[in-house]
Amino acid sequence: MKTTTKTKQNGLFEALKVKAAGEWKAERETSAGEGEILSLDDTERVKVLSPGRLVVKRFFRNKLALVGLVILVVMFLFSFAAPIFYPYSQTQLFYKFDYLNKDYASAIERTEYIPYAIPGAPRPPATVANRFNSYIIEMEAQDIGEMEVLGSDGAEYVVSKLGDRVYTMSMVAMTHVGEYSPSVQVAAYDRLLKTFEWKGASLGDGLKEAALGAIEDKAAEFEYDGVAYSVTSARNTYTVTRMDPAFEVSPAYWGVQTDEGFMSAMLENLGSDGFEYDGRTYDIASGGGVYFISEPGEMIVSIIGSTYVFNAYDVSTEFSDDFRIKALFALYGDGGFTVDGASYTVGDAGESIVISDSSGHDIGALSTYSIRRYSGQDTLSVDFKEAAKAVIENMQENFILETTFVYGVHEIDNEGNYVYLENGEPYFVDSEITVSRKNTGEYVMTVDQITYLIDIYAAPSKDHRFGTDGDGMDILARMMYGGRISLMVGFVVVFIEMIIGVIMGGISGYFSGWVDTLIMRVADVFYCVPSYPILIIFGALFDKLKMDPYRRLIWMMAILGILGWAPISRLVRGQILSLREQEFMIAQEATGMKARRRIFRHLVPNVMPQLIVRATMGVGEVIVYESTLSFLGLGVKHPMATWGTMINAITSSSENMAKYTYIWIPVGLLICLTVVAFNFVGDGLRDAFDPKMRR
């Protein structure tokens, strides 16, 4: 029974073998073409995958690695391809029209007197004119209407109060009579150089010899040619002075004969401010040892000053200084004045001072407040200024720091253009104007108006899918361009690390000995270098140099690459130490191949699988590193975008992070997805290159 069953099984097995052999033969005949039959030892029968295809096959069996690869492809398309089709750039600003509480006007009470020089009148010296306000303050403190002032030139000036808020400075017209010199300096003798310096023309050798004799004898006086001279010393200099008094009459002076009586009266009063002779008054001023004799004339107004502000009813009208001067004189005169052939009147009109032309039409008004647009332009109407002045005076009386009033403001449409009526007149709309008093005493008026603004922190919309940032730039566009920078930094830094690490590790592992010791000690130094302090120092240096953002980016990639090569060099060294004793390397050495060729043609290629895995995972690390640096303000600077700088822009406060989640959450997700994807791909490559892994 058992034999029969066994026989049946063997027969069934043989039948299956024949059937399988027939099917195999038919398949091979079909694949070989034209009925060609392959022999059993044909190489086509043995299908062996190449190492590269085997790695790819193992990689694509790893589902997490495939997920990471898909994410990376999407990230690269998002960062490098999508910006080509996206309509916005990373630095493009966006604007909008919206209501804004805008500084509309400013007002301040004018307390400083603005001086106007009278045309044709003599000008006082700057030392006198610049103190015009100081003289007025002193007069108001003493409650006097007139003050006499002595100028540095010896002339007298009179500051007078013409009326409320209007003052004048007048000067006495002086006629120069002559100059009296009780003594005249002739020369100065330098005892060290032994030379004379004559103040005028040289007076001859005789005077020189007489002066030298007196100096050598240390005499205080000497006489030469009937004229007395004095000698005074100061350190190494001797001064020779002629003691013969002289009076020089001014050629421009007529009307007085300087006889002995005049000279006597003058000499008797040299210590005073003046004297009288023959019914006329003379002033005496001294300076430099010389007495100046002048005859005073009439008083001439040279400056008129006021704190009044001239406001024109027609904002295109500009009042000249001549117009202002004559209007101020007329204000406290007969009220009328003429400028350029046109007649005007000025006077009180209720609560304000109004200037009218000859037809009675008001053309301007005087105010104690300077009220201008906040930009500084004087284009506000007189009615608005009067209304603002009344509000400000009420604030002062009641000690109010902030209040509001309603007034018609030129309407602005939704596109920022002023609105006009059909007849061309401006269209005004009643608006609430807020008046605030500042510590400087200035009053600022604000009003809500449609203004052309940068569209900052706009919420996501159809125009901006992720909104705009604090600079008014499209967030989605900056995310795309920021991905370019982050990915580029990752790949460039890893490439630099690989180049340096492979060269240093290959040389160290192959040659061993003192070369290995030296290179590894250098690698230990780079291991111990604190990266963040180094980068902080370089960041401060780049800020000090105000380096261009693109140059800063290049330097940052180079520094990161130089600081990160040590781990790769150790990896390469360890692999080469295990490979250099293999039979194929001994054979290459026996053939006389050069060391450089053995290292970079045979050893380094055998280390490439480990390097590829290390590089793939290192890119993710560098992206995190760069994002951290940019977040801390040490990386790429504005206006270039990176994912780190985009998050840094809204982390100034917890309120911003809670309010603008639509900015930092998508950017943070991009960083996380990219880093995780590189880690997935790196793990997949590590498993694919490992032949011991079960698949």
- Domain for residue 49, yes or no? no
Domain co-membership, 507 together with 572: yes
In whole angstroms, give the CA distance from residue 636 to residue 552: 7
Under 8 Å between Cβ of 395 and 386: no
DSSP-derived letter for residue 401 is S
Which of 18-32, 197-211, 413-427, 644-658 has the weakest average pLDDT? 18-32
In whole angstroms, give the CA distance from residue 610 to residue 590: 28
> Considering just the CA atoms, what is the radius of gyration of the chain in Å?
50
- Domain for residue 524, yes or no? yes
Give the model confidence (pLDDT) of 522-539 as tens digits: 888 888 888 778 878 887
CA 4 to chain centre: 104
What residues does 309 pair with on adjacent strands? 367
What residues does 427 pair with on adjacent strands? none
**To which H or E segment does residue 15 belong?**
helix 2-32
DSSP-derived letter for residue 594 is -
Domain co-membership, 551 together with 448: no
User: Could you tell me the pTM of the whole model?
Assistant: 0.53
In whole angstroms, give the CA distance from residue 395 to residue 438: 12
Give the model confidence (pLDDT) of 45-83 as tens digits: 444 556 667 777 877 888 888 888 899 899 899 989 999
**How much is the pLDDT for 46?**
45
In whole angstroms, give the CA distance from residue 313 to residue 317: 8
| 473: its two tokens | 């730039």
Task: Report how many domains make up the chain.
Answer: 2
Which of 403, 421, 454 finishes a domain? 454
In whole angstroms, give the CA distance from residue 352 to residue 364: 10
Under 8 Å between Cβ of 368 and 307: yes
Under 8 Å between Cβ of 566 and 501: yes
- Domain for residue 214, yes or no? no
Give the model confidence (pLDDT) of 265-277 as tens digits: 888 887 787 888 8
Domain co-membership, 659 together with 561: yes
- Domain for residue 652, yes or no? yes
**How much is the pLDDT for 307?**
93
- Domain for residue 324, yes or no? no
- Domain for residue 254, yes or no? no
- Domain for residue 296, yes or no? no
Give the model confidence (pLDDT) of 301-337 as tens digits: 899 999 999 999 888 888 999 999 999 999 998 889 9
- For residue 172, the tally of other CB atoms under 10 A from its CB is 17
Instruction: Give the structural domain span for 682.
Output: 475-689
Domain co-membership, 539 together with 421: no
In whole angstroms, give the CA distance from residue 44 to residue 555: 56
